[in-house]
Every structure is written in structure tokens, then in C-alpha cells.
């Protein structure tokens, strides 16, 4: 029988793992995975919107009440609120490259949106949401604030002692980046798979 099958050939019947090596999925299982993917994308968007709104509202308050005023001491000399305009990147780095930083922020946003299509991990959704919200927050300043479109100075106001002045968007970007590094070290991919190298 086996010899006959070898000579005649057998119809293309997928094996237990499926034709592509993946586990077989019943329609219900496939839709469940799609639903999980949509929930992770929703989590990403919720985190991004919250980070963006917190950054935007805080900057509006700072511009309205702190600009051209004396710094407000929060914890004595250790932490102050001091409104400044930053034409550089996060923490005041590279003030001569405002347009380049604007382009980088736009590219980061595009990459995150594209990556969201294969997102099945909640920790990755949170990390990418923080990055997206922070990038959008500072990009909004670059586009809409003086001295001009794509050259706007970012509003910074959190001033720890012996450190650069920053804002909530910078904080979201840094926290998202740290979380991505941790997830990468743990071997967790955005699609939810875990690998051990």
C-alpha cells in the first residue's frame, strides 16, 4: 500500500500541523486570535491617547501659567517646574537638528502603526503606546509651535537638580524604550511568541 501511494502519489492533504507548519486553526480559533490582536491594538491606542493628552494638557497649563515666570519649587532644589522652549531632542540634545528630529519622530510613528498589525502582546502594546503617545506629543510641538512648522520648539518644564529639563512626552518615550529593552531581554516578541537565544 505504501509503495502504491509512493508511485501514484497522494492528494495534497495538510498534515496535523497544517501546510505551513503552523498548528491547525478552526474558524473559531482564528477569529479568537484576531480578536486578541484587536484588543492589543486597542490597548496600544488607549495608552497612546492617554500619554498624548497628559502631555498636551500639561504643556497648555505650563505655557499659560509658568512661561516667563519664576520656577516653582516642588521638592526644594531637587525638583522644580521651570518652563523652557527646547529646539533639540529629548533632554535638550542637538538643538541644531530640529527638522531631523521632526522627521525621526514621524518615522517612529509610521513604524509603530505598521507594527501594530502583528501585535498580540499586551506588554508590547503598552510599550509601543507610550512611544507613540510621546512621539506624537513632541511632534505636535514641532509642527505647531514657534518659530515655524517642523521647526517648533518643544515645551519642557520638569527640572530635576543636575539634570536636563524634560516633559511628559520625553518620560513616556523613555519608559516605553526601557520596557522594550526588558521585553527583548526576556525574549518576548510583539506577536506574543517567546524565544530563548
**Residue 156 is a catalytic residue:** yes
CB-neighbour burial class of residue 149 (10 A; exposed 0-12, middle 13-18, buried 19+): exposed
Between residues 119 and 6, the one the model is more confident about: 119
- The rounded mean pLDDT for the chain is 82
Render pLDDT for 30-60 as a digit per residue (tens, 0 to 9).
568 778 889 999 999 999 999 999 999 999 9
Render pLDDT for 99-110 as a digit per residue (tens, 0 to 9).
677 788 888 899
Largest CA distance in the chain: 91
Residues near 126 by beta carbon (within 8 Å), at least 6 away in sequence: 43, 44, 47, 176, 179
Q: Does residue 64 have a pLDDT over 60?
A: yes
Q: How confident is the model at residue 192 (pLDDT cuts 50, 70, 90)?
A: confident
The catalytically annotated residue of 15, 55, 170, 189 is 170
Residues near 179 by beta carbon (within 8 Å), at least 6 away in sequence: 123, 126, 127, 130
Render pLDDT for 83-94 as a digit per residue (tens, 0 to 9).
999 876 555 555
**Residue 55 is a catalytic residue:** no
Sequential DSSP letters for 13-50: ---TT-TTSSPP--HHHHHHHHHHHHHHHHHHHHHHHH
The catalytically annotated residue of 12, 156, 191, 197 is 156
CA separation for the pair 86, 20 (Å, rounded): 51
Amino acid at each position: 500500500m505504501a509503495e502504491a501511494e509512493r508511485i501514484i502519489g497522494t492528494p495534497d492533504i495538510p498534515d496535523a500541523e497544517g501546510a505551513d507548519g503552523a498548528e491547525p486553526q478552526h474558524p473559531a480559533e482564528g477569529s479568537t486570535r484576531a480578536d486578541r490582536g484587536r484588543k492589543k491594538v486597542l490597548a496600544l491606542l488607549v495608552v497612546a491617547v492617554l500619554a498624548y493628552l497628559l502631555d498636551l494638557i500639561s504643556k497648555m497649563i505650563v505655557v499659560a501659567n509658568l512661561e516667563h515666570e519664576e520656577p516653582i519649587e516642588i521638592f526644594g532644589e531637587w525638583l522644580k517646574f521651570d518652563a523652557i522652549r527646547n529646539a533639540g531632542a529629548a533632554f535638550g540634545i542637538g538643538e541644531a537638528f530640529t527638522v531631523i528630529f521632526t522627521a525621526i519622530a514621524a518615522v517612529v510613528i509610521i513604524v509603530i502603526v505598521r507594527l501594530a498589525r502583528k501585535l498580540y502582546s499586551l506588554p508590547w502594546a503598552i510599550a509601543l503606546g507610550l512611544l507613540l503617545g510621546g512621539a506624537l506629543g513632541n511632534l505636535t510641538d514641532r509642527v505647531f509651535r514657534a518659530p515655524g512648522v517642523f521647526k517648533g520648539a518643544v515645551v519642557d518644564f520638569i527640572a530635576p537638580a543636575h539634570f536636563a529639563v524634560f516633559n511628559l512626552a520625553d518620560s513616556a518615550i523613555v519608559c516605553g524604550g526601557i520596557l522594550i529593552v526588558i521585553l527583548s531581554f526576556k525574549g518576548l516578541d510583539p506577536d506574543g511568541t517567546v524565544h530563548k537565544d
